[in-house]
A and B are shown apart, each in its own frame.
Chain A
Amino acid sequence: MSTESSVEKPPQRVAIKGASLRLGEGEEALEGSRCPDCGDTFYPPRTVCLSCYHEGLDRVTLSRRGTLHTFTIARMSLPGAFVKAPYVIAQVQLPEGVIIPTVLDDVDPDSVQIGMQLEMVVEKAKSDAEGNDVMAFKFRPLKGDAR
């Protein structure tokens, strides 16, 4: 690749720091870890199993769908955050048994209810200093959910 073409290349998509988010067309997903000994699953991924202390866990792809464990509507913004109030902070329970801290997207805050069905979405959060698209995940009400 010449220097010239790399200058003109489209922005790369990179996952936001502090999230175990796998990017890739059509296969965006959160990655957790699963203990090969006892089967317990964790997010964010870790090295040592919290249930049986086995060291060296397997990477697993987590479900894109879950249910709302709990939430709040933030009415003031956290300094430095790019998500601005009002917004819904949520804990989403996945079928694997892990709970994911996140924010909700595409939702009327006043309609949010514990137990509602959600699905993960990946969106551009911001551009970084190199011009890359920094991608973050959120959850939104599952399309077709009666609610």
Chain B
Amino acid sequence: MSSRVVVLGVGLHPFGRHPDKSIGEMARVAGLAALKDAGVEYKDVQAGFCAHVNQGVGAGLRTFGQLGMTGIPVTNIELACASSSRAAMLSADAIANGLYDIVMVIGVEKMQRGLLEGVGGKEFGYNDAMGINLMPAIYAMWAQRHMHVHGTKHEHFAKVSEKAHRNGALNPNAQYQKAISLEDVLASRMIADPITLYECSPTTDGASAVILASEAAARKHTNAPVFLDTWVGGTPEYHRGEADQAEGPNAVLAQRAYEAAGLGPEDVDVCQVHDAFSPGEVFLAEELGFCPEGEGGPFVWEGNTEIDGRIPINTDGGLLSRGHPIGATGGAMITELTTQLRGQAGQRQVPDAKTALLHNAGIGGVNVMVLKR
């Protein structure tokens, strides 16, 4: 029997620099917040997924163990920057198919300052030795191509970061809660042309927790459920003669999600996209169907993705300003969209948001979700 899946509870440990905190401490804060939000106790949780990338052996026990030791199966999940949305998908699969009623996802990461290392794995081959596996360079090369083919300007990308920081200033859980000007973004240190320092998501310490439940179980705790309506995940698709895609077929997955949810991009009220670097939002405005291909730059520039725009994107500051503790990011996206659909987003609330779209990408995979109330 297939059940609808409800996002019953969400919680965060504030994102930022927390060098003195263990992943267990951060997971406990996020987890207890999510349990309280859901109105359930840890003993009600039947399975857990711990999403992380670089936290070593036994991270599941070190995090879930802070909440209790009830003997439930806890599984570690790694899908780079999309780990915790993939963990939520697996939880939803299990709930929808009747395996469990209540499942908890904890996403957690502690990161070092500076560039993300080990992008090519541990082999350290040609692409590492030659400095090719530079994360901002991947987005920068997509951006250069976009500028060449579509005439997109650096200012269009920079606008994404200016807007993200303005939204982050409204989010008490964001790593950066300070607005910066377009000039600040453009004048910050160049990292990989055209991407400047302020167009890169930071490295971050933080945790997110999401409690998913079957509709029947959720109805005991809430009269106004937010549904995880649709979820699709994918990996890169090969197309002869095209450059390798590191993450996945965003447009294909979005289309699949729209069809399964019975709606289209024009029905989305609020959206989270993977803006690991500022060009991400420009590309995704196109790939998720909010504007025609090639017009993402002007679309963002004209304010369409602002909180009061046609399709508000990354209302909480996104990866650029909220921060990007890679294993925790998907859970933070679910948290923001759930908060928006409940009407609890305070100063950054999108009025009467009913339908939300989530896009979370990592090296090796992409997840797209539709949430509804």
- In the complex, are the beta carbons of B141 and A71 less than 8 A apart? yes
- In the complex, are the beta carbons of B131 and A72 less than 8 A apart? no
- In the complex, are the beta carbons of A75 and B193 less than 8 A apart? yes
Q: Choose among B124, B145, B238 the residue that contacts A69 (Cβ–Cβ < 8 A).
A: B145
- In the complex, are the beta carbons of B129 and A74 less than 8 A apart? no
Q: Choose among A76, A85, A102, A114 the residue that contacts B130 (Cβ–Cβ < 8 A).
A: A102
Chain A window 44-77, contacts with chain B (Cβ cutoff 8 Å), 1 for yes, 0 for no: 0000001100000000000000000111111111
Given A17-B125, A89-B192, A99-B243, A72:B130 Cβ within 8 A: no
With both beta carbons as reference points, the residue of chain A lying nearest to B145 in the complex is identified as A70
Q: Which residues of B contact A74 (CB under 8 A)?
A: 131, 134, 137, 191-192
Q: Which residues of B contact A84 (CB under 8 A)?
A: 131
- In the complex, are the beta carbons of B115 and A19 less than 8 A apart? no
- Determine how close the nearest CB of chain A comes to the CB of B236; give it in whole angstroms: 10
A97 to B241, CA, bound (A): 5
Q: Choose among A50, A85, A138 the residue that contacts B238 (Cβ–Cβ < 8 A).
A: A50
Chain B window 256-267, contacts with chain A (Cβ cutoff 8 Å), 1 for yes, 0 for no: 000000000000
Given A51-B240, A72-B141, A101:B193 Cβ within 8 A: no
- Determine how close the nearest CB of chain B comes to the CB of A146; give it in whole angstroms: 19
Q: Which residues of B contact A19 (CB under 8 A)?
A: 125-126
Within 8 A of A (CB), among B110-134: 114-115, 117, 120, 123-134
- Determine how close the nearest CB of chain A comes to the CB of B129; give it in whole angstroms: 6
With both beta carbons as reference points, the residue of chain A lying nearest to B193 in the complex is identified as A73
- Determine how close the nearest CB of chain B comes to the CB of A20; give it in whole angstroms: 9
- In the complex, are the beta carbons of A72 and B144 less than 8 A apart? yes
Interface size for B (C-beta < 8 A) is 37
Q: Do most interface residues of chain B lie in helix, strand or loop, or is the interface mixed?
A: loop
A76 to B113, CA, bound (A): 14
A77 to B115, CA, bound (A): 9
Within 8 A of A (CB), among B92-110: none
- Determine how close the nearest CB of chain B comes to the CB of A107; give it in whole angstroms: 14
- Interface membership of B220, Cβ < 8 A: no
Chain A window 2-20, contacts with chain B (Cβ cutoff 8 Å), 1 for yes, 0 for no: 0000000000000011110
- Determine how close the nearest CB of chain B comes to the CB of A85; give it in whole angstroms: 8
- Interface membership of A78, Cβ < 8 A: yes
With both beta carbons as reference points, the residue of chain A lying nearest to B114 in the complex is identified as A79
Q: Do most interface residues of chain A lie in helix, strand or loop, or is the interface mixed?
A: loop
- In the complex, are the beta carbons of A75 and B189 less than 8 A apart? yes
- Determine how close the nearest CB of chain B comes to the CB of A87; give it in whole angstroms: 6
- In the complex, are the beta carbons of A89 and B193 less than 8 A apart? no
Counting chain A residues whose Cβ lies within 8 A of the other chain, the interface size class is: 35 or more
Most chain A CB within a 10 A radius of its CB, from B125, B127, B131, B133: B131
A91 to B145, CA, bound (A): 11
Q: Which residues of B contact A136 (CB under 8 A)?
A: 126, 129-130
A103 to B127, CA, bound (A): 9
Q: Which residues of B contact A50 (CB under 8 A)?
A: 238, 240
With both beta carbons as reference points, the residue of chain A lying nearest to B144 in the complex is identified as A70
Q: Which residues of A contact B126 (CB under 8 A)?
A: 16-19, 136
Q: Which residues of A contact B131 (CB under 8 A)?
A: 74, 77-78, 81, 83-85, 87, 89, 103
With both beta carbons as reference points, the residue of chain B lying nearest to A88 in the complex is identified as B193
- Interface membership of A80, Cβ < 8 A: yes
A135 to B125, CA, bound (A): 12
- In the complex, are the beta carbons of A78 and B124 less than 8 A apart? no
- Determine how close the nearest CB of chain B comes to the CB of A26; give it in whole angstroms: 22
- In the complex, are the beta carbons of B129 and A114 less than 8 A apart? no
- Interface membership of B244, Cβ < 8 A: yes
Q: Which residues of A contact B144 (CB under 8 A)?
A: 70-72, 114
- In the complex, are the beta carbons of B141 and A82 less than 8 A apart? no
Q: Which residues of A contact B125 (CB under 8 A)?
A: 16-19
- In the complex, are the beta carbons of A80 and B128 less than 8 A apart? yes
- Determine how close the nearest CB of chain B comes to the CB of A39; give it in whole angstroms: 10
Q: Choose among A40, A69, A101 the residue that contacts B127 (Cβ–Cβ < 8 A).
A: A101
With both beta carbons as reference points, the residue of chain B lying nearest to A137 in the complex is identified as B126
Within 8 A of A (CB), among B198-253: 238, 240-244
A16 to B144, CA, bound (A): 28
Q: Which 3 A-B pairs have the closest CB atoms?
A: A18-B125, A72-B140, A81-B131
Binding site for A on B (CB under 8 A): 114-115, 117, 120, 123-134, 136-137, 140-145, 148, 189-193, 195, 238, 240-244
6 sampled A-B residue pairs with Cβ under 8 A: A18-B127, A50-B238, A72-B137, A72-B140, A81-B128, A103-B131
Sample of 8 more A-B contacts, CB < 8 Å, known A72-B192, A114-B148:
A18-B127, A72-B137, A72-B141, A73-B192, A83-B131, A89-B141, A103-B132, A125-B130
